[in-house]
Amino acid sequence: MTLPALKNLLQRAHERVRFSKRWFFLLYFLAGIPYLILTGPFRTPDERNHFLRGYEISEGRLHPFRPSGGFPGDDLPASLSRLSEALGNHADHHIEPSQIRLARSLQLVPGQREFVEFSTAVYSPVAYLASASSILIGRLFGAGPLALVYFARAGNLLVGAWLISLAMSHAGFARSGALIVALFPMTLAQVASASADAVSYGLSFLWIALVMEIAVDQNAGLSRKRIVLLVCLALALSQLRPPYPLFGLLVFLIPPKRLGGKMAILVCSAVLAASLLPALAWNAASARLFVKPVAEQNIEPAEQARWVMKHPGPFLHRVKQDLKTRGLEYWEQLVGRLGWLNIRLPSWVFLGGAAVFKQKIFTSPTESPFPLWWQRVVLALVIVAGVVAIEFFLYLTFNPVGSPFIFGVQGRYFTPLALTAAFAFSNSRLSRPSFELPGKIACLLFVPSAHICAFFVLARAAGKI
């Protein structure tokens, strides 16, 4: 076959490929299964705490407590604490066979309870509905503590994959770039864990995609059903940790005439109230669960907030320096720093992820409607506000008052902002066969290669190969 004939064949195949949310859901779910299996239990950031919060909610216990001078938690089956102890150091991905045997031997005895602390007690139940429902099903089938971890992971993977598939079906002009973010190894690994990130990613992805579809596509009607859906999604966003409630501001991207003219103010007010007021109410209600600051470390969130208010310039300078010195590390964590951020993939994965993401942003379909310039500006401002909000929140809770550095930030926190960037900057500048077809081939080669590499690295870290 001659080169022109091969190029023509590939071009025809490329033109026939269409996005299908059903096929994407199936492929996404199947791609997540190896992460679910190969990642040891409690071997992702704070998975133990997320699992315990999910178990607590599965029993219908929505009100954890904090003993005087202690950490927040609840009275849970004692075998759950024994499970954490049996699995050893959670930062060590390699688990000895003896540890697995001990973990498997543990039985769930609901009547034998003890107080178990978990920092995620301060989080709203919304992000744990999928894992809690799966844990409840596992309990009904008599599953032990170790098996319940995998029930929680399976529930998160199922619901997370479904929500992300719905989001991609509404992504329109930014679908190519959004798909790359959704298919990063770190994104899939978190969706396939017991972490609250699974549902948080899914809900935020769907909200961003749906709002942008309404804002940009003139053919996308805004029925009463869609308005109710927007309000419900905004309510869900309000119950997630920062910066997710900030995405409620994206409702201002929808032109007033598409919101019904005079109804625009009412709809925007309802969405903003739904995304912000419940967040404030939950934080106020759960304030009693926050651990008393450690005096020796000089960590005082209230005092830190006052310091930032008095010195906004120095704080923003700290944010700038943090992004300048650790920005590359955050990108690596966002793309694929697995385990407890201590399992690093080869450099080509991070470089390839950046290259493919950039290429997809510049090759959006020419026939797609794109945002107006002011809508792109608003998206960019939301991204900046989200970055500052993440740095601010971590500065309050993990850093001494007036600290010259910002500790505690992780790249995975920026995942929904990376998706927002796909909507903010997608265009068709390179949407020509000479650029588009090679980009499609590069994407088809990069995505499976990156995941196969991640599976191999996880298996090697676990001592399976």
Cα distances from 110 to residues 42, 102, 115, 147, 465, in angstroms, run 21, 19, 13, 15, 37
Predicted pLDDT at 10: 46
> Which residue bears the tokens 């995609």?
209
Residue 67 is predicted with a pLDDT of 74
At residue 442, the pLDDT reads: 77
Write down the pLDDT at residue 221: 59
Hey, is 76 helix, strand or coil?
Answer: strand
Q: Mind listing the pLDDT tens digit for each residue in 19-69? A: 788 999 999 999 999 999 999 999 999 999 999 999 999 999 887 877 766
The answer to whether 226 and 234 are in contact (CB under 8 A) is no
Instruction: Give me the residue spans of the domains in the chain.
Output: 18-461
- Going by C-alpha positions, the residue among 158, 185, 187, 126 that lies closest to residue 419 is 187
Question: What is the tens place of the pLDDT at every residue in 261-270?
Answer: 667 788 888 8
Exposure of 240 in the CB half-sphere (CA atoms within 13 A): 30
pLDDT at 295: 53
Selection from 116, 154, 163, 115 nearest residue 136 by Cα: 154
Which residues make Cβ contacts (< 8 Å) with residue 313, sequence separation at least 6? none
Residue 315 has a pLDDT of 97
Residues 78 and 125: beta-carbon distance below 8 Å: no
Task: Write phi, then psi, for 340 (nearest 5 degrees).
Answer: -90, 50
Q: Residue 64: enclosing H or E segment and its boundaries?
A: none
Per-residue pLDDT tens for 105-129? Answer: 999 999 999 999 988 888 899 999 9
Secondary structure class of 402 (helix, strand, coil)? coil
For the chain, the average pLDDT equals: 88
Instruction: Let me know: does 450 contact 444? Beta carbons within 8 Å.
Output: no
Specify the pLDDT at position 217.
78
Torsion of CA 41, 43, 46, 47, to 10 degrees: -30
> Quick one: pLDDT at residue 12?
53
Residue 236: pLDDT over 50? yes
Instruction: Determine the Cα–Cα distance for residues 395 and 308; give it in Å rounded to an integer.
Output: 9
First to last CA, the chain: 40
List phi, psi (to 5°) of 338: -90, -175
Asked if omega into 416 is within 30° of 0 (cis), the reply is no
Q: How many CB atoms lie within 10 A of CB 351?
A: 12
Cα–Cα distance for residue pair 464/458, rounded to 1 Å:
9
Task: Classify 25 as helix, strand or coil.
Answer: helix
Which single residue is written with the structure tokens 């992971």?
153
How would DSSP label each residue in 298-363? T--HHHHHHHHHH-HHHHHHHHHHHHHHHHHHHHHHHHHEETTTTEEPPHHHHHHHHHHHHHHHT-
Do 216 and 371 touch, CB atoms closer than 8 A?
yes
List, in sequence order, every residue forming a beta bridge with 338; answer none if it has no partner: 343
Partners of 115 in beta bridges: 75
Q: Give 279-332 pLDDT, tens digit per residue.
A: 888 877 776 666 655 555 667 888 899 999 999 999 999 999 999 999 999 999
Give the span between the Cα atoms of 370 and 18, in whole angstroms.
19
What is the arithmetic mean of pLDDT over 206-219?
Answer: 89
| Residue 369 pLDDT grade (very low, low, confident, very high; cuts 50, 70, 90) | confident
User: What phi and psi values does residue 336 have, to the nearest 5 degrees?
Assistant: 180, 55
pLDDT for 13 equals 47
The predicted pLDDT at position 397 comes to 84
Q: How many residues does the chain have?
A: 465
**pLDDT category of residue 242 using cuts at 50, 70 and 90:** confident
How far is 273 from 266, CA to CA, in rounded Å?
10
Which residue type is seen at 176? S
Upper half-sphere CA count for residue 181 (Cβ side, 13 Å): 30
Query: Three-state SS for 415?
Result: helix
Task: Give 341-366 pLDDT, tens digit per residue.
Answer: 999 999 999 999 999 999 899 888 87
Whether 275 shows a pLDDT value over 80: the answer reads yes
Phi-psi region of 195 (alpha: psi -120 to 50; beta: other; left: phi over 0): beta
| Under 8 Å between Cβ of 129 and 50 | no
464/145: higher pLDDT: 145
pLDDT band, residue 193 (cuts 50/70/90): very high
For 230, 250, 277, 412, the CA distances from 268, given in Å and listed in that order, are: 10, 10, 14, 29
Predicted pLDDT of residue 268: 84
Inter-CA distances, 224 with 156, 227, 233, 260, 418, Å: 30, 5, 14, 10, 30
